Amino acid sequence: MSKYQRAFGPHDPQRTYVAHAFDEQLFDTGEVQLNYAVAGDPERAALLLIPGQTESWWGYETAMPLLTEHFQVFAVDLRGQGRSTRTPGRYTLDNIANDLVRFIDGVIGRPTVVAGLSSGGVIATWLAAYAPPGTVRAAYLEDPPLFSSEVRPAVGQNIDQCIGPIWGLLAKYLGDQWSIGDWDGLIQAIPKELPERLVFVAGLFGLGDEPRQALKEYDPEWGRAFWTGAVYAGCEHERMLRSVKVPVLFTHHFRVVDGASGMLLGAMSDTQVAAVGELISTAGNDFRLVSFPEMAHSMHGQDPALYATTLTSWATDLELIP
């Protein structure tokens, strides 16, 4: 039995959480309490930052001050991540994104630019497609796994051909809400149960005596929902992309497709990104693609200055900010 069994999560906040540079607040949606931080002048344009899977709001902590020259910045923990509520059995894209519709209405209170990394970019896509009119002004999708995180995508590689086995392994050894918590077993299983191409990716979670901080704040049921496809129940990506109603900026980062197997290392293949652009453009929206093939998955983590410049230049060009 691992010494970390049942150690991390809201049930043990002293072991799980650490202090950050910005004050944290809670917003009650009626179902969940969303933890968030705010920076900047409320007279400026509103920007909502949506973290990726296993990332809490403070993944944006370094980028936030760079954005406040142009925005009032809101960074949020999604349900099941950070200090926000765990919701067993209710991790779906519709539920997660509707939390943010309520957040924009109840906390921000005005039309908002949304920017999401990875699965946060998929959530930003949902908001761009399905949020009530006037809620979202534009969406920045930072290396999102559109199509590639689906079990049966309309285009290209599926989740099993990408990073999916990692989410399955986390769910197996850590359990929903860390109910298994076999960290030692997870470490031992990685070289045995993961495809070789993903072993070094798994190392990004911190494979020492303790998980990295963001993983401590993560409900592994998220991973299970993605691995099984439950997260996208009734919300196929192709239909969602056809429904987008606002301008979109898309940054595509590191990606490699194995010529023999077709396996994808990265969030999306070039073929999938082209399909995203065609669907959004055909729906009548401005779609701008910027390729950063040497950039890590999280640009706001690796190069916050480039992230801020990329976002604000696009927003300025669209006259979303002065």
- How confident is the model at residue 1, as a pLDDT? 42
Q: What are phi and psi of 125, to 5 degrees?
A: -65, -45
Contact, 243 vs 130, CB < 8 A? yes
Question: Does 4 have pLDDT greater than 70?
Answer: no
* Average pLDDT for the chain: 95
Q: Which three-class secondary structure state does DSSP give residue 153? A: coil
Contact, 34 vs 207, CB < 8 A? no
- How confident is the model at residue 22, as a pLDDT? 97
Over pLDDT 90: what percentage of the chain? 88
- How confident is the model at residue 264, as a pLDDT? 95
Higher-confidence position of 26 and 190:
26
- How confident is the model at residue 259, as a pLDDT? 87
Question: Does 6 have pLDDT greater than 70?
Answer: no
pLDDT in tens, 146-170: 999 999 999 999 999 999 999 999 9
- For the structural domain made of 17-159+232-317, what CATH number should be given? 3.40.50.1820
Read off the pTM. Answer: 0.96
Q: Which of 243, 267, 20 is nearest to 145 (CA)?
A: 267
Higher-confidence position of 200 and 25:
25
pLDDT in tens, 268-286: 999 999 999 999 999 999 9
pLDDT in tens, 218-230: 999 999 999 999 9
- How confident is the model at residue 320, as a pLDDT? 97
Measured CA to CA, the distance from residue 125 to residue 129 in angstroms comes to: 6
* CA 157 to chain centroid: 19
Measured CA to CA, the distance from residue 278 to residue 272 in angstroms comes to: 10
Per-residue three-class SS string for 227-253 = HHCHHHCCCCHHHHHHCCCCCEEEEEC
Q: Which three-class secondary structure state does DSSP give residue 174? A: helix
Measured CA to CA, the distance from residue 195 to residue 192 in angstroms comes to: 8
Average pLDDT on 234-252 reads: 97
Q: What are phi and psi of 34, to 5 degrees?
A: -95, 125
Measured CA to CA, the distance from residue 134 to residue 195 in angstroms comes to: 44
